[in-house]
Amino acid sequence: MSNPEQIGEILVQPDELNNRVKELAAEISRDYADLDQGLLLIGVLKGALFFIADLMRAIEVPCEVDFMAVSSYGSATQSSGVVRIIKDLDAPLEGRDVLIIEDIVDSGLTLQYLIRNLRARSPKSLEVCTLLSKPIRRPEAADVKYVGFEIPDRFVIGFGLDHQERHRNLPYVAALEPKAT
Ligand code: 5GP
């Protein structure tokens, strides 16, 4: 059952998501036009679920997909800084052109961990594409080549992003409104 009272201001509308995903896919297709082996997209579950599905369908260069699941927040809304791999990749990365697909970069701690971990597997190249970014939360610029939208420092839900596993199915990105008591 959904909790409509928890859905706050809409920050990114469905048509804005759709248009921006297509722009990112066009940029990625241009940047990776000349590959030996295809591009390998690594989706970070579960939040990047819809983003990677839409992005991959709009990318026009040969590409493959693999998934990783990591936990950083648990059920809280603040980063713990502790990252745990719940599901690892199926295939090695050695010599591959790899693009990490994230839902959101907040403090950047999860991404730092992922980049360190995946770099150690010797890919040919490693870049990051995130749908959302909260730049105000990071003291230094993160290593993100493709950013869909920069958003304010609010906890957001929808288009794959959850709060306690709910609201992923919203077709837009909205702020989570604290429940009135
Ligand atoms: P970071 O380590 O950059 O602080 O957090 C990254 C991860 O925390 C994201 O991949 C996502 O799972 C979660 N996260 C960060 N900010 C938000 C947010 O505003 N909403 C949701 N639903 N998850 C978030």
CATH of the domain at 87: 3.40.50.2020
* Cβ proximity of 175 and 11 under 8 Å: yes
For the chain, which ranges sit under pLDDT 50?
74
Q: What's the confidence (pLDDT) of residue 180?
A: 65
Residue type, 147: V
Q: Residue 151: what pLDDT?
A: 96
Domain residue limits at 101:
15-154
Q: Using one digit for the tens of pLDDT, what is the confidence trace for 6-57?
A: 899 999 999 999 999 999 999 999 999 988 789 999 999 999 999 999 999 9
- Does the residue 167 lie in any domain? no
Which is catalytic among the residues 54, 97, 103, 106?
A: 106
181 located within any domain: no
| Cα distance between the two ends of the chain | 19
Residue 51 lies inside a defined structural domain of this protein: yes
Look at the chain and report how many structural domains it folds into.
1
3-state secondary structure of 77: coil
pLDDT score recorded for residue 82? 72
Task: Report residues whose beta carbon is within 6 angstroms of any ligand 1 atom.
Answer: 47, 72-73, 79, 102-111, 155-157, 161-163
**Is residue 159 domain-resident?**
no
* Model pTM score: 0.92
